[in-house]
Structure 1
Amino acid sequence: MNNVQVHDKEFEILLENDSINKRIRLIGIQLNVDYENRCPVFIGVLNGSFLFMADLIKEIDIACEIGFIRVASYHGTESVGEIKEAFGLPTDLKDRDVIIVEDIVDTGQTLKYILAKVQQQEPASVTVCSLLFKPAALKEPIAELNYVGFEIPNDFVVGYGLDYNGLGRNLKDIYRAV
């Protein structure tokens, strides 16, 4: 595998697309079992989760609905801790089972913000499904984080929906900065 260049940074392979797809299949199977005879609402967090969400939904064979929320808390390679909501949640989540789909959970600040917004609508249940999780970066535990594709080191990553200043989302593998 060759390294890739995105903007001024060089990245090396961390997770190959084949491994990502196998893990997503397993998460999909688990969600199908856990939500059998229910109709969850999947809420993808844009922009990063769009590829993960699309591939995950293809593995879901139970009745479900799909929505998106867009938030931003990153600038360059650092989480700036300031959250700007660009467009919001579905407004009909009362008594629904909600599955928030994230590309990555690192500090957890963005996710805490989203969870608070979802809880205001009094859903029946809320769970989080994230492709990547950086335990070393997490500021405080997130009880709702029940489905994780891969735990990774606290490295800056790009590819498979994750970007570096807008670029790299289209890479089919996930790379880490070298």
Structure 2
Amino acid sequence: MMAADLQAALANADVIHDRETLERAIAKMAVSIRDAYADGPVPVFLTVMHGGLPFAGRLAIELGECGLDCEFDYLHATRYRGETAGGELVWKHRPATSLQGRRVLLVDDIVDEGQTLLAVRDWCREQGASEVRIAALAVKSHDRCVEGICADFAGVEVPDRYVFGYGMDYHEQGRNLPAIYALR
């Protein structure tokens, strides 16, 4: 995929949430997460790669600002592998941190239909996690989400369109854009 494709996508997209809006939403989420984890042991902050990386980095700093310490690890499980439709779940990296008896915060870019997050959440529970919560920067507005999956902490809502930026990709491009865009 050539960079020109991303430029064409940007020319045919609307800015749904700008950087300032996203950073305010993340700061607000951090306060809610801090409050939820105020009593008890430090949570395991699990970033879902690749999409969750930009959001997770910003959220981690905001949590530190709020006074919540976390133990960090990551996982890489994907159903997309550069495609626009998901297939079978492929694990590229599992966390090295033991989840046995731990409170886990899964941190991802978006809750769309939730099939990947469902599989990852169930895996965390199989590993003995005492609690698994989901923090997602964006939640797509539709009624196709897998039953039982929702963001415990959500930043913004996005329309039921192809969205990219701030972790979400356009054919493996544009994850580092400082806003969320939606194709027209």
Query: Taking structure 2 as the reference length, what is the TM-score of the superposition?
Result: 0.87
Of residues 111, 132, 150, the one that matches 1:105 is: 111
CA distance in 2, matches of 1:138, 1:91: 32
Letter in 2 for 1:54: G
| 1:146-161 matches, cutoff 5 A | 146-161=152-167
Q: Which residue of 2 aligns with 1:167?
A: 173
CA distance in 1, matches of 2:111, 2:96: 21
| 1:74-153 matches, cutoff 5 A | 74=80, 78-136=84-142, 138-143=144-149, 145-153=151-159
| Aligned-pair CA distance for 1:7 | 6.1
Structure 1, 141-150 or 116-125: larger mean CA deviation: 141-150
The answer to which structure has the higher strand fraction is 1
Deviations 1:103-127 (A, max 9, x none): 0111111011101110111212110
Q: Which residue of 2 aligns with 1:29?
A: 31
Deviations 1:46-75 (A, max 9, x none): 000111000000011222101111122225
Q: Which residue of 1 aligns with 2:60?
A: 57
Structure 1 segments of 4+ aligned residues over 3 angstroms from their partners: none
Q: Which residue of 2 aligns with 1:6?
A: 6
Percent sequence identity over aligned pairs: 27
CA distance in 2, matches of 1:144, 1:175: 22
Q: Is the 8 A contact 2:111 2:150 kept in 1?
A: no
Structure 2: which 5+ runs fail to align?
Answer: none
Query: Taking structure 1 as the reference length, what is the TM-score of the superposition?
Result: 0.90
CA root-mean-square deviation: 1.9
Q: Is the 8 A contact 1:135 1:151 kept in 2?
A: yes
Q: Is the 8 A contact 2:118 2:149 kept in 1?
A: no
| Aligned-pair CA distance for 1:78 | 2.4
| Aligned-pair CA distance for 1:141 | 2.5
Q: Which residue of 1 aligns with 2:19?
A: 17
| Aligned-pair CA distance for 1:131 | 0.7
Q: Is the 8 A contact 2:139 2:151 kept in 1?
A: no
Letter in 1 for 2:89: I
Q: Which residue of 2 aligns with 1:68?
A: 74
The answer to which structure has the higher helix fraction is 2
Of residues 33, 40, 43, the one that matches 2:43 is: 40
